[in-house]
Each structure stands twice: as C-alpha cells, then as structure tokens.
C-alpha cells in the first residue's frame, strides 16, 4: 500500500496576516464577530473571501448573491492572476495610505479596493466575451461604490484608488503597475471618437484628487499630476504637471511618486 503523506498547505503570507488580524479584531470588537467570521475567517483562501465580498456587495433584486458568487469563484479558480493582483493591490494600499493600519481594512471597509477587485472580475468576463454580464458588474460597482470603470479598460497590479468617490476610467484607458490615484479622477475621452480615445497611464504615476486626463495621450512612467489639473497632452516620464490646461512645472521629485504620495509642489518651479 502506498504511503500516505499529509498535504502541505500553500504558504500565503498576506492571507495569513489577514486571518490573524481578523482574530484580534473579533477579540477587540465582539459586535463585529459575525461580519468578520462571515467575510474572512469562514473562508479557506483570500480568493474565496473576495468572491464572497463581491457577491454580497453587488447582489440586487436583479441578480442574486448566489449567481454572483459562482461567477467570482469561477474567475478566481481559473485565473491565478486575479488573486496575485488582489494581493498586490492590498499591500499597495497598506503601504501608501496612512489611514490603513491593518491588512483586513481594505478587504472589509475600503470601497476603492473593493471596487477595483470588482472591476477585475468584470474585465475577466469581458475578455471571455461575456459582455453583458461585464456591463452588469460595471453598473452595480458604480451604483455601490461610486466608481465607474469600463470592463474593457486595462489596469495593472499594485494600484491604489484612495477614497475612490467619483472615479471614471474609460473603455480604452490603460493604467500601469504601481499607480496611485485620489478621488474624483477621470481618465476620459475628448469627444465622440469610437476608437482608441482614452489615456495611457504609465507605471508609478501619482494622480491627484480631481485631476482629469483626457484623450488618447500618454502619461510617462513615474510622473505626477497635481490635484485639479486638466491634462490634454502627453506627459514625459518623471515630470510634474499642474494647471488647466496642465503644463510641466518641474521634476517628479522622487523615483516612485505613487509610493511616496507627496502631492506638494515645493520641489517644482513656481511651487512653494
């Protein structure tokens, strides 16, 4: 008879830390015990917890929680990249947002993180030709979180959308890895063009609150867009732009603006 060997559980530091924090949270606030058990501790993996959260938040009288849960479970089960991106996004929020003190906060409480994970499932549906279901997820994400991301848009990993109210990202937009954006950011078009009409945001870019980036333009890697700016033309890498319309006002100030999260213009010409 063949020797039976116990299976070794895969090491998942992010999920392990979330579960440890969840146990502490239940101890410190017992009234949240049911929510935390149902949302986190009841699940064997982070992917299963995310699928539960997705279905719970987006369910409505038009689409049941069970159907949405089956869609999310299929997505996470067939595409490991979704789980990888979810972990990278969560770590990005923890490292960049001073209001985030524990790993469990984004998955339970931060609508920017939850909306981004919902978009990733909508994009997964879009890539498989399930366009109408992808549109439904987009609609419910917009209704629930105030974040409207077209399911055809392409968004990289380790992305943080802070506060996330009134975010709009268009159909042909591309967002690179390690990007950070604040609330009321629009990555939109400039008219009724039907082809490639939305911005291409490079890696490591920091986009300030209320910034509007419009048209099929390129924003170079590791650049900064100041709050309230309207960007209508290409932005070179490692520069800071500000104003309406936005103009180059100096260097980006550091190697990774999206990680440092410094929105001040003190190091730029004409700044503080």
pLDDT at position 175, please? Answer: 98
pLDDT of 7 reads 54
CATH 1.10.3130.10 spans which residues of the chain? 12-146
**pLDDT at position 272:** 41
Query: Which residues belong to CATH 2.160.10.10 in the chain?
Result: 153-271
Name the fold adopted by 12-146.
Answer: 1.10.3130
Predicted TM-score (pTM) of the model is 0.92
- Domain 153-271: give its CATH superfamily: Hexapeptide repeat proteins (2.160.10.10)
Compute mean pLDDT per 10 residues along the chain, 272 residues long, and list them.
54 96 98 97 97 98 97 98 98 97 97 98 98 98 98 98 96 98 96 88 98 98 97 97 96 90 65 40
Q: How is the chain classified by DSSP, letter by letter?
A: -PPP-PPPPPP-HHHHHHHHHHHHHHHH-GGGHHHHIIIIIT-SSHHHHHHHHHHHHH--SSS-HHHHHHHHHHHHHH-HHHHHHHHHHHHHHHHH-TT--STHHHHHH-HHHHHHHHHHHHHHHHHTT-HHHHHHHHHHHHHHHSEEE-TT-EE-SS-EESS-TTEEE-TT-EE-TT-EE-TT-EEE-SSS--SS-S-EE-TT-EE-TT-EEESS-EE-TT-EE-TT-EE-S-B-TTEEEETTTTEEEEE-SSS-HHHH-----TTSTT--
């Amino acid at each position: 008879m063949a020797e039976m060997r116990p299976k070794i559980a895969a090491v998942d530091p992010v999920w392990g830390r979330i579960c440890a924090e969840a146990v502490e949270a239940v101890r410190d606030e017992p009234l949240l015990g049911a929510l935390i058990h149902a949302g986190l501790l009841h699940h064997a993996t982070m992917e299963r917890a995310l699928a539960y959260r997705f279905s719970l938040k987006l369910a409505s009288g038009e689409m049941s929680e069970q159907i949405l849960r089956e869609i999310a479970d299929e997505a996470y089960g067939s595409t490991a990249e979704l789980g990888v991106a979810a972990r990278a996004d969560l770590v990005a929020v923890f490292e960049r947002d001073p209001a985030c003190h524990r790993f469990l906060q984004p998955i339970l409480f931060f609508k920017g993180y939850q909306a981004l994970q919902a978009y990733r499932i909508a994009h997964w549906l879009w890539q498989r030709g399930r366009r109408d279901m992808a549109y439904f997820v987009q609609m419910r994400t917009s209704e629930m979180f105030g974040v409207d991301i077209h399911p055809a848009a392409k968004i990289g990993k380790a992305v943080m959308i802070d506060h996330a109210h009134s975010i709009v990202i268009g159909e042909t937009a591309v967002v690179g890895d390690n990007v950070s954006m604040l609330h009321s950011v629009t990555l939109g078009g400039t008219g009724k063009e039907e082809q490639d009409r939305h911005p291409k945001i490079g890696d490591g870019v920091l986009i300030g609150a209320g910034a509007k980036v419009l048209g099929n333009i390129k924003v170079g890697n590791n650049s900064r867009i100041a709050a309230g700016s309207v960007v209508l033309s290409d932005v070179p890498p490692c520069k800071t732009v500000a104003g309406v319309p936005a103009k180059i006002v100096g260097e980006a100030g550091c190697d990774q603006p999206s990680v440092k999260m410094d929105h001040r213009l003190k190091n730029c010409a004409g700044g503080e």
